Each structure stands twice: as C-alpha cells, then as structure tokens.
Structure 1
C-alpha cells in the first residue's frame, strides 16, 4: 500500500513538472487564443444571437397555437346556471379552449425580416473573422516582443561574459603596473551597468510574457513560457506587388469592407420593413372552446304545492286571466365530465383585417429614420474604404521601410562587431584605455539590439501586409 502511494505521488509530481515545463510555439499561441480569448468568445456570442434572430424570423411563418383551461369555485350568492335563479351556493365550473392564429399578409414584413436576419448572421460571421485576425496579429506581435526581449537578454549576457574576461585581464595588468587603476574602475563600472541592464531585461521578459498570457486567457503566469527559436525573414515576395494591387486585393478580401457593406444592406432592409407598415395586415384565426360544471342538471318538473298555478296573461276583450301550471324543476346529478365537454363545445373561425389609416405619422417618421440610417451606412462604407486604403498604404510603406531599416541595422551591427574586435585587440596590448574600450563595446551592444528590434519589427509589419493581401491568419509563415 505504501509503494502504491509513493508511485501515485511520483506520477503526480512528474505530471505537474511536465505541465510546468511546457513551452508554447507561436502557432500554439495563435490557435489557443482563437479558441479561448475573451474578445473572440464575446464575438462568437454575437453570432449565436444572430442565429436566434434568424429563428425568430422563421417563427413568424408558423401559426401560433395556445391552449387554456380553468377550474374555479364560486361561493356565495351566484346564479345557478341550470335554473337561472340567484342562490347561495358553491359552484364549480370548468372551461377549456384552444386558439390558433396565423398571419396571412403583413406587407411582406415576415419575408423581409427573414432576409434581414440572414444578412445579420453574415455580418456577425464577418465580424468574428475580423476579430480573429486582429487577435492573431496581436498575439504574433506579443510573441515576437517576448522573443526580442529574450534575445536582447542573451546579447547582454554574452557581452557581460566578455566584460568579465576583460575584468580579469585588466586586474592582472593593473597588478603588474602596466595599466592604471582608473582602467580597472572603468571596467568595474561597465560590469555594474551591464548587470543592471540584465535585471531590467529580465523584468521586460516577464512583463511581456504576462501580457501574452493574458491575451491567451492563461492565468498561470509563473509557469508560462514560449519556445526560444529564431524566426527568419521569409516570404517577403508579397512586397513585389505594388501598393495599389495590395489595396485592391484588400478591398476584395478584408472583413472591414464586407462588414460595412452588410451594415448598409441591413439599413436598406430596415427601410423596407418600415414601409411594410403602410400596407394592411390580414390574419386568420380558429378557436375551439368547451365547458363543464359541477351543478346538477334538470331531470324533470313537479307542481309547486304552495302555488300550483301562475298567471301567464290576460285575454284581450274579456279580461279573462290565463294561467298555467307552476312547476318546479327537479335537479339530478350532472352529466359525466366527458359527456359535458362533448355537448358544450363550439368553434369559431374567420379572418381579421387591419388597415392602417392614421397613426400620428409614426410609420412615416420611422421610414424616414431608416432612410437616414441608410445614408449613414453609405458614408460609413465610404469611410471604411478610405480607412482601408490608408491603412494598407501605411502598412505597405512601413514594411518596406522596416526592411530597409533592418538591412541598415545588420550592416551597422557587422561594422561595429569588427570595430569592437579591433578595439579589443588594441586594449589587450595596451594601445587603448578602458574608457575607449567600453564605448566601443556599448556601440556594439546597441547595434546588435537595434538589429534584433529591426528584424522583429519587419517580420510583424510584413505579416500585416500579408493579412491585408488576403492570406488567412493560419497560413501566415514565420
């Protein structure tokens, strides 16, 4: 039993350790965000609501059927439904019915409502696609930022290793009297500055990891990490197209234009729906009702012993009084429940026509409001096209500029690397002081960091152009 418990504990520990050691690739981050990001989930709810709206529109074509039933007791002075006499009694009455109705014609609003619901569903799906593109691009940017911070820290550590080696050599040269004490202090100050920058770089890594985890919807910040791999610059053939070709492709593929177009169609459908209120509405109905009571039924009649006859009239001319037997009905047990329902049932059916004549200009004003909304949607579509052109032009220009900046940064980094190697050789033989060596080292670090920043900046901006060109987010190559 103890061995079994020990094995279970070890398995649990191993599973937790493997979970902690999971490192996320960019593809995994994008796919996870598309499934779990809160903004994506909220947009998916809009799609579900549009589906419900479509079902509502379909339901307008189906007859409405309702059933009702009641069983009530009345106590006190009430009319006996059998004899018609008011008397103190307790009466139980049961009634039931079924009613059905259907709209035969309502100015074609039902058909137009269904068309509107279908367009609304498409608009929600396009909005979801746009949200996924935005989230995927944001995840990629955050992921590349983490990579930049990690590689920046590696650069600082590599440079710090060089500084440590130089510190040891400088200490030996100072002890031998070859270099002054000031060179040693300069190297020590450089060492302290590099340690401070490494601490700041480590903090930047944690902050960028937390930001990425929040975008993905992951709360275990402590154990969240990404795969450290170097992303190469590839697939820049997209920039072989002119900016105008990218703009035209974006107008065909991007969701921004499609969403604006569907919003315009929705506004136009609202106008047609409002105009439908000008036309008459024709409906059909059918009702079935029945009832049952617990009161006794009349089974016969007997003469009233107190007043066996009663006056029913007078003969004109002779003034002779006409009398008739005065009978009292005798009550028996009520008919069975089912028999009463069969005997007392009835149906009604027919058509109902409603013709709008005057409603305080409500319909006219609603039509006018919706026509104004159509104009607004047209302006929004025009603005969306202008914004898309500006955004694509900006993204295209940024990508080209980022590529040129990256090439320049690589050239500068290579040149500074050679300059640093030359400064290192001169410092090792005592031909330059520690200050000049530190300055050469700082310039080399800065060019390396700038080359990294320019590289990931170009990769991200290139992906933005690819999205505008219509490449699906899952097909983007990194």
Structure 2
C-alpha cells in the first residue's frame, strides 16, 4: 500500500515518541508550561526588545535638551598659483594649510517640540509595556488551550484503550460461547469487526494526542520534545465563583485591567501629543551657537640665493605661534520664522489630526469589543457548565443502559448488534463528558481572565 508523506511523518513521530517512552519523561503542569513560555517564547522576547527600543528613544529625546558640540580638523596642500589663506597674497608656491575648530549649538526655543517629544517617548514606553503584558496574556491563554487539548486527547485515548480491552475479552468469551453453541457464529463476526474498529479508533486517538503534544511543545519553543508530557492538575470546578458574578461587574472590572483598552488609551494620548508636536512647527525657533577656529600654514617662499648660488627660502612662523595668532571666535543667535513652506506644516498637522480621530475610534471599538467578549465569555461558560452537567447525567444513564444490556447479552436475551449499539453509545458519552469537562475548564479560565484572575499567580516580570 502506498503511504503519502503526511502518514510517513506521523509514523516517524509515533516511533520517536515510542522509543523515548523508555526514558524518564518529565510531566509538566499548566503553571510550569505557562512560566516556561514566558521565558522562552519568541514573540514575548520581541516585545521585550520593543521596550528596550522605546527606552533608547527616550534617551534620544532627552538628548535634544543638551547642546551639541563638534570638533573639526583639516589639512590641505595647494600647488601652483593660489592665494595663501593666511597672508591673502596670490603667489605660485606649494602651501600646506591646517585648520582646527570646535563648534557648539543649543535649542533655546523650538515651539516646545523637544518637551512634547520627550513626553511622547514616555508614553511610548508605557504602550510597549502594555504590549508585552498583552503578549504574555495571549500566550498564557494559548498555552492553556493547548494544555487542555492534550489532557482531552489523553483521556480520550484511555477510553478507547479500555474499550478495546473490554471488546477483546468479550470476543474471547464469545468464541467460547460459539463453540458451546450458545450464540450464533454471526455474532462473533460482528465482535471481530468491533475489535478492529476499536484498534482504528486508538490509532486516530494516538495521532491526535501526538499532534497536540507537538503543538504545545512548539508553542513553548522546546527544542527536544520527544520526552514531553503533561500532568492533569486542573479541576472542573468554579473555584473562584466567577459564574456567581454579574456580567456587568465583570465588564467594569475588565475595563480597568484589560491591556487591550489600556493600549488603545495610551495610543490616543500619543496621537494627541503628535498633534501638539506638529503644531509646534508653526512657531519660530531660536538657536544659540558658538564656534572657535584657528589655523596654520607652511609654504616654500623663495627669497634669493646664497653666495654659492643655492636658493634661500623664508622660514615660516612656528606652527604653535600661528595657531595662537590665528585664533577666532564666532557666536550668536539664529532665529528662524516660518512664513511659507508649501503647506507642509499645515498638512502634517491635519494628518496627525486624522490619526487622532482614528485613535479615538479605535479606543471606542476596543471598549465595544471588550463588552461583547465579556458577555460572550460569560454565556459560553454558563453553556459549558450546562453541557458538562448534562454530559454527567447522560453518562450515568448510558452506563446503566450498558450494564442492563450486558446482563441481557450474557444470558442470551440480546443479540450482538444491539449490545454493540449500547456499548457505542456508552463510549460516545464517555468522550462527550471528557470534551465537555475540558471545554468548561477553558471557558472558566477565559472568564476569570477578564475578571483579572490570571492563568497562573503572575505572568509579568
């Protein structure tokens, strides 16, 4: 039989997990998984780097208050006829010229833009911190969901394995009853098909468990996940009484603590600062400046010949003396008054006003989304609780029906087909209650999350 690439991958992963089962496997609790994700998840690390960038931007903004100081130095050679930069006399000679200088400047007034930019960077740091918390919250919920999915698949696999064991025993007993002539041979064929179906269901359950483990291991950024497993430390109870709360109270609490709203509020404040900064460009700017410079030159100036006919050159002044004699200072104020700049300032102000309106709408939308999500989470949690309670009642009824059918089957008052139907309904009820249990746990954790109860005691650093 031809096996496609996907099946080959699944088989390889199953073999890998099977071989690793001989070694000691660490079983992770939900809290351990969440904490490990906080320290190793790539998205969280990126958010932490965003905070560092915001801190650097704050240092840049603070630096705009300080004066600028720059030094300069140059050395040049002028060959041929040129003007000596020191003597200002044109001559044909080779001149070397050295110039040294230092300059400084400081903003005295700039339409309060520097101050507002600094305040904006502080808001950006707060926004980055909120983004980190939101990323941690999202990762924690994703980890909890993946964790509970593993628990469901483990319980489901256990049910399938127990069912197979029961059917195999029943098949062996039925063989004895067929040989004894108690039941017809046709019932044995039905049981054989049932056992084969049970084995197929186990393979499907094993694959689902494997994929769910792989998903959580990748979410945790685990490099070696062959020995990865989890342990059930959850409880299908509303331990914090969250369902006793009023949805309005949960929503009001969520408005105070949810980072989605805080991020939108901070972005609104940043947009307001951007408008103020843009308007600052309408105002004149005043800047103070100071510079110091000095220079020295050297040139071979022919003054005559000596008694032997050799050329005689004039010796230049000592370099240090030239630097001392050629010192110069320059200082003053530079006033710039914007008059017309192609509407660039006005357009920039209008552009930032549009962004401000968008931020207001975004904040309003986040509040509406939060309200809808809270009420949806509350309704889902209530519904999940009802489903779980109904599943418990259904399982009890299916178990009683199965026990009764088994008694009838054992004494030959029920055929194999009807008994298999009762058994199938029991297995379905067992799977349904497992699914309802972990769905209820996750829905409760989401509702607690909106009420300010984290997945683990603390997820922020």
Q: TM-score w.r.t. structure 2 length? A: 0.89
Q: Where does 1:121-140 land on structure 2 (aligned, <5 Å)? A: 121-140=125-144
1:315 alignment counterpart: none
Residues 463 and 476, structure 1, Cα contact 8 Å, conserved in 2: no
RMSD: 2.3
Matches of residues 422-461 of structure 1 in structure 2 within 5 Å?
Answer: 422-461=404-443
Work out the CA distance in 2 between the residues paired with 1:443 and 1:236.
Answer: 34
Verify the 8 A CA contact 1:466 1:476 in the aligned structure 2.
no
Q: Which moved more, 1:30-39 or 1:167-176?
A: 30-39
Q: Contact between 1:82 and 1:296, CA under 8 Å: does it hold in 2?
A: no
Answer yes or no: is 1:177 the counterpart of 2:181. Answer: yes
Going from structure 1 to structure 2, the CA distance change for 1:61 and 1:350 (only over 3 Å counts) comes to same
What's 2:353 paired with?
Answer: 371
Match of 1:401 in 2: 383
1:408-467 deviations in Å (ceiling 9; x for gaps): 101111221122122222222222111111111111111111101001001101011111
CA displacement at 1:81 relative to structure 2 = 4.8
Higher radius of gyration, 1 or 2: 1
Residue of 54, 60, 73 corresponding to 1:56: 60
1:91: Cα distance to partner?
2.2
Match of 2:8 in 1: none
Match of 1:391 in 2: 373
Instruction: Give the secondary-structure state (helix, strand or coil) at the position aligned to 1:222.
Output: coil
For residues 11-160 of structure 1, what are the structure 2 equivalents within 5 Å? 21-81=25-85, 85-160=89-164
1:212 paired residue among 197, 211, 216: 216
Deviation at 1:85, TM superposition (A): 5.0
Between the aligned partners of 1:272 and 1:18, the Cα distance in structure 2 is 67
1:340 alignment partner, one of 293, 314, 322: 322
TM-superposed deviation, 1:270:
0.8
Query: Secondary structure at 1:294's aligned position in 2?
Result: strand
Q: 1:369 Cα deviation (Å)?
A: 1.7
Structure 1 counterpart of 2:13: none
Within 2, Cα distance between the matches of 1:387 and 1:420? 47
**Partner of 2:403 in structure 1?**
421
Contact 1:282 1:353 in 2 (8 A): yes
**Are the equivalent residues in 1 in contact too, given 2:238–2:444 (CA < 8 A)?**
no
Report the CA distance between 1:230 and its aligned residue. Answer: 5.8
Q: How big is each residue's C-alpha offset from its partner over 1:285-309, in whole Å with a ceiling of 9 and x where there is no partner?
A: 11011112223699xx99xxxxxxx
User: Using a 3 Å threshold, how does the CA distance of structure 1 residues 393 and 219 change in structure 2: closer, same or farther?
Assistant: same
Aligned to 1:349: 331
CA deviation after TM superposition for structure 1 residue 24, in Å = 2.1
Give SS of 2:120's match: helix
Given the superposition, is the C-alpha separation of residues 438 and 39 from structure 1 closer, same or farther in structure 2, using an over 3 Å criterion? same
Pick which of 231-240 and 380-389 moved more. 231-240
Q: Which of 215, 223, 242 lines up with 1:238 in the alignment? A: 242
Task: State how 1:271-282 maps to structure 2 within 5 Å.
Answer: 271-282=275-286
- Which runs of 5 or more residues in structure 1 are unaligned? 1-15, 303-329
Q: Does the 8 A contact of 2:384 with 2:436 survive in 1? A: yes
The Cα shift of 1:239 comes to 1.2
CA-to-partner distance for each residue in 1:307-366, whole Å, 9 max, x for gaps? Answer: xxxxxxxxxxxxxxxxxxxxxxx8643333333222211111111000111112221222
| Structure 1 SS opposite 2:94 | strand
Deviations 1:235-267 (A, max 9, x none): 250111100110111011101111111111111
Asked if the contact 1:50/1:121 (under 8 Å) is kept, the reply is yes
Summarize the alignment of residues 187-266 of structure 1 with structure 2, pairs less than 5 Å apart.
187-228=191-232, 231-266=235-270
TM-score, normalization: structure 1? 0.86
